[in-house]
Chain A
Amino acid sequence: MEILYENLLKLEWQQIVMWAIGGILIFLAIKKDMEPTLLLPIGFGAILVNLPFSGAVTQIVDGAVEEGALSVLFDAGIANELFPLILFIGIGAMIDFGPLLANPKLMIFGAAAQFGIFFTLCVASMFFDINDAAAIAIIGAADGPTSIVVAQKLMSKYLGAIMVAAYSYMALVPIIQPPIIKLLTTKKERLIRMPYEQKEVSKLTRILFPIIITVIAGLIAPASVSLIGFLMFGNLIRECGVLNSLSDTAQKVLANLITIFLGITIATKMQADQFLKPETLLILGLGLVAFIFDTAGGVLFAKFINLFAKKKINPMIGAAGISAFPMSGRVVHKMGQAEDPQNFLLMHSIGVNVSGQIASVIAGGLILNFFS
């Protein structure tokens, strides 16, 4: 009889707290539609790994190692960065660089909006050793796969907290960005119209672009070459015009399959003894700092450019350089329309948004160059 409730008696309050956290993530995913593809598997996984002696994670029972399926998946797909890199092929296949190629100058805002990463690195270094501080700072890349790869390569012990922060804040972009943008811009600036001139981008440019980006990024930040290479490989499949079936598979089946395993596997790092620490709260706070200063960096850089530019730029588009694609681009467009229903910033903001995707990966590579 005792065997039926024996395990129940081993339950600790910390594990119940983790169930609650898992429940909150599932609630946010389903009820609030916040990054459901990742928050739901992470939330369920958090419950799964926090059952006493959960068979889903590797345990030592009576001196013998009993391997758990999620731990095996972690070693097979995350410890060696395979899952996030394969996911990047799917993301690359999804991205249309057209608006960016039509107006390449917009890319500079993607670079400026990585300021939050480096500012957070400075702040985090006051509390953590430099490798953990760098891994935490990369939450500001607003890009899950980059965060996983950088945190893994830097051997950070805070992977679970970093992932939860990265994906939660990405989902919260529509809430985090508008007040920062409003605080840093005047109404007059938000009303600036930017007419969109339709420019044709040749197929050759679309094909050469991913190849050239890979070579440049690889030469300057070799540590980023796997990240940028897989992203651009996916984009090349999309743009080459002869691999439509592969492009379709990468965008849908491959990306979905990896996402299912990625979320639930990340949860192995959400066991109560590793996750319920004061450091986790601090990491969540630092993640928010990164997103705020990314947004500020992009907006303030656009205002700086306006000091010299003849054709004024609506500084709100600088905020779209945060990467979180396509939420950030849409947020800026909606804010522009709220000020002036005739102001269409979408093509500009999406162009800046995809440049943020490239810039965040390069920033990840630079961070790895510094510290790995």
Chain B
Amino acid sequence: MNFHPGAFIDSLYYMGVGMLGIMLVIGVIIGITALLNKITNKKPANKKDSLK
């Protein structure tokens, strides 16, 4: 085990790409889930129908 302080700076690239990647993937999942909710949620019956 050795101590290489410079490795911290070198690894910042992975931090940036990793966090960006995870935000993008989750962002896509949020969008698709919201869309799914919109498409699959039952619309409330309109007043005319409910009066019949």
Contact = CB atoms under 8 A, between A and B. Distances in A.
Interface of A: 101, 104-105, 107-108, 110-112, 114-115, 117-119, 121-123, 125-128, 130, 133, 199-202, 204-205, 208-209, 212-213, 216-217, 220-221, 278-279, 282, 355, 358-359, 362-363, 366-367, 370
Contacts of B3: 126-127
* Main SS at interface, chain B: helix
Contacts of B26: 107-108, 110-111, 355, 358-359, 362
B20 to A, nearest CB: 10
Which of B26, B28, B34 has the most CB atoms of chain A within a 10 A radius of its CB? B26
Nearest to B41: A202
Closest A-B pairs by Cβ, 6 of them: A104-B33, A118-B15, A202-B40, A111-B26, A122-B11, A125-B7
Contact of B37 (A101, A111, A128, A279): A101
Interface of B: 1-5, 7-8, 10-12, 14-15, 17-19, 21-30, 32-34, 36-37, 40-42
Nearest to A212: B32
A127 B37 CA distance: 47
B30 A123 contact: no
Given A125-B10, A205-B36, A279 B1 contact: yes
Contacts, number: 117
Contacts of B37: 101, 104, 199, 201-202, 205
A207 B7 CA distance: 44
Nearest to B12: A122
A126 B30 CA distance: 35
B41 A213 contact: no
Contacts of B22: 111, 114, 359, 362-363, 366
Contact of A121 (B5, B14, B24, B36): B14
* Main SS at interface, chain A: helix
Given A121-B11, A126-B4, A370 B18 contact: yes
A148 B18 CA distance: 20
A43 to B, nearest CB: 26
22 contacts: A104-B30, A108-B26, A110-B26, A111-B23, A114-B19, A118-B18, A122-B7, A125-B11, A126-B3, A126-B7, A127-B2, A128-B1, A200-B42, A208-B40, A209-B33, A216-B25, A221-B25, A279-B1, A366-B17, A370-B14, A370-B17, A370-B18
